[in-house]
């Protein structure tokens, strides 16, 4: 039995060290396959999740950014969020409700939030492009935070931190929906971004 | 849990001789717990980081007319994404009224678009294949490989691909084409909005009115 115990402890250690926890996503999305082997950066990343019906969800990797972003976006729409609401929001892994309904959404229990979030998504049509405002704010709060970080640790400046934008869209999303998102990013002068894919083996001899 | 076993022949032990004791601990509960934890970690975590494809789009505020002009007719290939996973291409730049442009149908298989692009991009593709084998045999490092590959892609006369997706295409179609660009080592490619003339070509080729009708409906809708 001792040997068996040794093996299991070893396996456990291995799994704990090598793997990362799966991020909870409001909708399940299966990205298209690609031969590209570039890995996504670990931090400083804004991810955009697009489901097959074109619903858009976003997530920031830093809780502080989330809080600051909500405050800024709230200001743009003349909504004052209470500190509790900001705190609650910073704990959400990803978000995607229209800003008008945000306060009501934050008041719900986590179980109810999971249930209703699939009905929403960030509005991103031309009449009320909240996605654009979120994206703008994300860039703004991120650069403010990074400036502070660099001021405290000047040696980090040489590394030139960059905010990466990752788009994770379902393989069956119609192209016009992707195009709208890409156009919005282009309007914001965000030309470089990552499209998340799943790995397909490269063909031999190509 | 643990039991202590006495060695010896019961009571008939000689006085003064040390008691020999072996302690045996039952590890079964520990193994059970470990297995449970392993299962938990296997289910709740992921080993792989997601793959990404890095793309850079042209800037919107700068008029890309000059860029378009730089594109030589002999180098340009336009790929059109149609309905139901269809893909078409034409060579060269279209004339003003798209009269001299003839569409070719192809598909996403290795014999379709890839074979065509590899043929067009033959000189770079063969050199890149050499690089690939050298990398596979660990003769060159990743950084050297990337540097040499990007050098290679800058070669004069290499084809430039313009990707135009119709509203009927899906994200997979777009990704497949971008994938072909990587596989065929094409350095210059861009995703561009589809134009009226391209839709007209698609309509003529497929005898399917919906390409053009769809566009008209959208325009009417946007005017309102």
Which chain A residue's Cα is nearest to B222? A126
Chain A residues near residue B179 by CB distance under 8 angstroms = 33-36, 200
| Tens-place pLDDT, residues A28-85 | 888 888 887 777 777 788 888 888 888 888 888 888 888 888 888 888 888 888 888 8
The CA distance from A64 to B103, in Å, is: 53
Confidence of residue B13 (pLDDT cuts 50, 70, 90): low
Nearest-CB residue to A187 (from B45, B60, B182): B60
In order of start, what are the domains of chain B with their CATH numbers?
72-121+158-215 (3.30.420)
Position B74 pLDDT exceeds 50 = yes
Is the CB of A1 less than 8 angstroms away from the CB of B184? no
Chain B residues near residue A175 by CB distance under 8 angstroms = 81, 165-171, 173-174
Which chain A residue's Cα is nearest to B54? A194
Position B6 pLDDT exceeds 70 = no
Nearest-CB residue to B174 (from A33, A178, A202): A178
Chain B residues near residue A173 by CB distance under 8 angstroms = 170-171
| Tens-place pLDDT, residues B22-58 | 888 888 888 999 999 999 988 888 777 777 888 877 7
Is B114 an interface residue toward A (CB < 8 Å)? yes
CB-based burial label for A205 (10 Å; 0-12, 13-18, 19+)? exposed
Higher-confidence position of B203 and B31: B31
Confidence of residue B66 (pLDDT cuts 50, 70, 90): low
Q: Which residues contact B17 (CB under 8 A, 6 or more apart)?
A: none
Position B14 pLDDT exceeds 70 = no
Half-sphere exposure for B151 (CA within 13 Å, toward CB): 8
pLDDT for res B95: 67
Is the CB of A182 less than 8 angstroms away from the CB of B191? yes
The CA distance from A127 to B163, in Å, is: 28
- Domains of chain A, by residue range, sit at 21-199
Confidence of residue A206 (pLDDT cuts 50, 70, 90): very low
pLDDT for res A10: 93
Is the CB of A40 less than 8 angstroms away from the CB of B30? no
* Direct distance between the N- and C-terminal alpha carbons of chain B, in angstroms, rounded to an integer: 80
pLDDT for res A205: 46
Query: What mean pLDDT comes out for the span B138-149?
Result: 77
Is B133 an interface residue toward A (CB < 8 Å)? no
Instruction: Tell me the shortest Cα–Cα distance from A28 to chain B, in angstroms.
Output: 15
DSSP string, A103-155: HHHHHS-HHHHHHHHTT----BSSSSBHHHHHHHHHHHHHHHHHHHHHHH-GG
Structure tokens at A146: 């990074």
Which chain A residue's Cα is nearest to B174? A175
Which chain B residue's Cα is nearest to A15? B41
Across chain B, mean pLDDT equals 77
Which region among A119-128, B77-86, B212-221 has the lowest average model confidence (pLDDT)? B212-221
| Tens-place pLDDT, residues A74-119 | 888 888 888 888 888 888 888 888 888 787 888 888 788 888 888 8
- Burial readout B23-62 (b: 16 or more C-beta within 10 A, e: otherwise): eeeebeebbeebeebbeebeeeeeeeebbbbebebeeeee
Segment of A4-13, A126-135, A183-192, B215-224 carrying the highest mean pLDDT? A4-13
pLDDT for res A146: 83
Position B145 pLDDT exceeds 80 = no
């Amino acid at each position: 039995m001792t040997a068996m115990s040794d093996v299991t402890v070893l396996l456990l250690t291995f799994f704990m060290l090598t793997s990362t926890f799966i991020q909870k996503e409001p909708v399940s999305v299966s990205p298209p396959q690609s031969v590209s082997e570039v890995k996504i950066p670990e931090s400083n990343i804004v991810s955009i999740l697009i489901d097959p019906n074109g619903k858009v969800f976003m997530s920031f990797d830093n809780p502080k950014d989330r809080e600051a972003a909500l405050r800024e976006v709230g200001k743009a729409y003349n909504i004052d969020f209470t500190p509790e609401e900001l705190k609650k929001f910073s704990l959400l892994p990803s978000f995607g409700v229209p800003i008008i309904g945000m306060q009501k959404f934050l008041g719900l229990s986590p179980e109810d939030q999971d249930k209703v979030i699939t009905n929403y998504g960030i509005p991103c049509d031309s009449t009320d492009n909240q996605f654009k405002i979120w994206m703008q704010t994300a860039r703004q709060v991120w650069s403010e935070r990074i400036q502070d970080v660099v001021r405290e640790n000047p040696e980090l400046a040489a590394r030139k931190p960059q905010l990466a934008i990752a788009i994770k869209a379902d393989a069956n999303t119609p192209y016009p929906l992707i195009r709208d998102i890409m156009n919005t990013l282009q309007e914001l002068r965000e030309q470089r971004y990552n499209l998340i894919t799943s790995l397909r083996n490269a063909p031999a001899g190509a | 849990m643990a039991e202590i076993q006495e060695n010896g022949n019961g009571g008939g032990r000689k006085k003064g001789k040390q008691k020999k004791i072996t302690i045996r601990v039952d590890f079964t509960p520990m193994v059970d717990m470990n297995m449970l934890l392993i299962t938990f970690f296997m289910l709740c975590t992921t080993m792989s980081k997601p793959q990404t494809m890095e793309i850079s789009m042209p800037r919107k505020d700068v008029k890309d007319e000059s860029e378009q002009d730089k594109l030589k007719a002999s180098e340009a290939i336009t790929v059109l994404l149609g309905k139901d996973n269809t893909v078409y291409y034409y060579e060269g730049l279209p004339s003003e009224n798209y009269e001299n442009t003839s569409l070719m149908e192809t598909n996403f298989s290795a014999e379709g678009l890839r074979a065509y692009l590899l043929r067009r991009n033959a000189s770079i593709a063969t050199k890149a294949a050499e690089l690939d084998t050298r990398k596979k045999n660990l003769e060159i490092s990743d950084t050297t490989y990337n540097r040499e590959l990007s050098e290679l892609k800058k070669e004069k006369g290499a084809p430039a691909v313009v990707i135009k997706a119709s509203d009927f295409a899906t994200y997979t179609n777009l990704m497949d084409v971008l994938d072909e660009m990587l596989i065929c080592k094409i350095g210059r490619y861009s995703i561009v909005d589809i134009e009226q003339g391209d839709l007209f070509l698609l309509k003529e080729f497929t005898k399917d009115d919906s390409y053009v009708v769809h566009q008209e409906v959208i325009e009417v809708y946007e005017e309102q």
